[in-house]
Amino acid sequence: MKSQKIVFLGTPDFAVPSLEALYHTKHDIAMVVTQPDRPKGRGKKLEASSVKKKAIELGLNIIQPKSINSFECIEQIQSLQPDFLIVVAFGQLLKKSLLDIPSRCVLNVHPSILPEYRGPAPIQWSVIHGCEKTGVSIMKLDEGLDTGDVYSVQTVPIHPDETAGILHDRLSEIGAKLLISTIEQIVINDIPASPQNNKIATYAPMLSKKDGLIQWQLSTKSILNFIRGMTPWPGAFTFFENKRLKIFQAQKANNLKQENSGMVIESFPDELWVSTGDGVLSIIEIQSASGKRMLISNYLRGNPIPPGTILG
C-alpha cells in the first residue's frame, strides 16, 4: 500500500492511541492540529492537550488554531495536499472548505454504533442508559454532527461493572486499530461508505458537573448505571448537610426494607445503605468535597451519617 499523507486533528486522551497507531505505520503525518493550551487546576496554569504532548514526544509538526475554519488554517492545511484528514475528538466542527481538501476523504473515529449516540458524550450515555453493547464507528465526516456515511463498525459488549472511564480507554484502543484497517481498505479496495439511517438516530449531549446529581427516586439499577456512567467525570454526587459527596462505586443491597428515597437506613457501623425508588443501595467508595477518594468504611470512621438522614 502506498504511503498516505495525513493531517491529524485531535485533542483529548481518546485521540492519542489513534495518533500513535498512525505514527507506527508507513503513512506520513504531515501535521497535527490540536486545540490551544487551556488553563487548568486551581492555579489556572496553561496546559497542553494530550494530543499535543504526544505529538511533541513523537517529533511531529503541530499547530493550535483558535478556529480550525480560519482562512489561515485552511490555507496551511491545503498547502500540504493531504490524502486524508483524520479527526478524533478534535472539538470543533469542520466546514466544507476543509472537508474538500484531502484527495481521498476526512475520516472520523466515533465511539458508538452510529447512528446511535451521535454527539459529544456517547460513552457516558451508553453506560448511563444501561446498554449491553457499544462500539466504534469510522465515518466519512460531513458538515453535520456525526451524520456522515460509515465505512466500518466494531461492536463490543459493555461489561456489567465497567465505568465510562474504563470503557473510554478500551474504545480508544479499539478505535485506533479500526482506523488503521479502514484506511487500508479504502486505499487498497476502495470500499464504499454506507449512509446512516437518520430515523433511528439518537443524541448524546455534553455533560457538565451539575449533571452528576443522583436522583434517589430512580431504580437501584438506574442509579448504579448512572454512577458508572459518570465515573470518573463529571462524577456522581449527592449532598449531606449541604456538603457534596462524590460516589464512585456502589452495589445493590438485598433483602432490605425500602424507606423514603434518599434515606440512610439502619446498617452496620462501617456501611452506608441508602433507599432508592425500588430498593436499597450500598455505597462502597466515596469522596468528600475536600477529601480523598476512600472506602466507605474508612470515611464513616470520621464522618458518621446517622440513619434517617435524607441525602439529596
Q: 62-106: per-residue pLDDT in tens? A: 999 999 999 999 999 999 999 999 999 999 999 999 999 999 999
Statement: residue 257 has pLDDT above 80: no
Q: Please tell me whether residue 60 adopts helix, strand or coil conformation.
A: coil
- Cβ(140)–Cβ(106) under 8 Å? yes
Residue ranges per structural domain of the chain: 5-200, 209-302
pLDDT in the model for residue 72: 96
Mean pLDDT of 265-281: 93
69 grid coordinates: 475554519
> Whole-angstrom Cα distance, residue 245 to residue 247?
6
pLDDT in the model for residue 141: 97
pLDDT in the model for residue 22: 98
180-231 confidence digits (pLDDT tens): 999 999 999 999 999 999 999 999 999 999 999 999 999 999 999 999 999 9
State the pLDDT confidence band at 267, using cuts at 50, 70 and 90.
confident
Mean pLDDT of 117-140: 98
pLDDT in the model for residue 244: 96
CATH class of domain segment(s) 209-302 = alpha beta
C-alpha triplet 264, 244, 267: angle, nearest 5°: 20
Sign of CA dihedral 28, 31, 35, 41: positive
> Whole-angstrom Cα distance, residue 170 to residue 162?
10
The length of the chain, given as a count of residues: 312
State the pLDDT confidence band at 41, using cuts at 50, 70 and 90.
confident
pLDDT in the model for residue 256: 73
Q: Please tell me whether residue 164 adopts helix, strand or coil conformation.
A: helix
**Amino acid code (one letter) for 42:** R
The more confident residue out of 10 and 43 is 10
pLDDT in the model for residue 81: 98
pLDDT in the model for residue 7: 98
State the pLDDT confidence band at 44, using cuts at 50, 70 and 90.
confident
**Amino acid code (one letter) for 41:** G
Statement: residue 242 has pLDDT above 80: yes
pLDDT in the model for residue 40: 84
Q: Please tell me whether residue 128 adopts helix, strand or coil conformation.
A: helix
Mean pLDDT of 267-288: 95
| CATH of span 5-200 | 3.40.50.170
Same CATH fold, 209-302 and 5-200? Answer: no
